[in-house]
Amino acid sequence: MINNRRRNFRPRSQKNNFRRRTGSINSSNSNGLNNNGNMSFNRNGSMNNIHNVEKTMLKFQQLAKDAQSNGDPVLVQNYLQHADHYLRRYNELNERKESSVDKTKSEEKPITQENISEKENISKTAN
């Protein structure tokens, strides 16, 4: 038996409402947390990816330029502060990346003629 009727649309529940405890929404045992969607910002790794940080910094710089052209000095300052924050984070990630590259280079043994001759001697004695 083929049923050609369309099903009624049932919207998905929001993530923050998933498996909500029974009781009132504004219960007094909320332990002081303000769940406004910013709780998961630091968990998604966006502040550790250097490309995302650079892109966000450039976005705020562009927003500051746009606000400047619209004549809103308060908004310009706000966007520039955000861009400055991401610039500091970008520099921090660059320093961390450079130090890890320097560390791996210092751990690697440089290839010299002496190292090659040592390897040849070891392979000759093994044969």
pLDDT tens figures, 95-113: 999 998 888 877 765 566 6
Helices and strands in the chain, H and E counts: 3, 0
Encoded tokens for 79: 């966007």
- Provide the pLDDT confidence category of residue 38 given band limits of 50, 70 and 90: very low
Mean pLDDT of all residues belonging to the chain: 75
Does the pLDDT of residue 90 top 90, yes or no?
yes
Q: Which residue has the higher pLDDT, 40 or 92?
A: 92
pTM of the predicted model as reported, rounded to 2 decimal places: 0.50
pLDDT, mean of residues 55-79 = 96
Any idea how long the chain is? 127
Tally Cβ neighbours within 10 Å of residue 80.
18
pLDDT, mean of residues 17-32 = 53
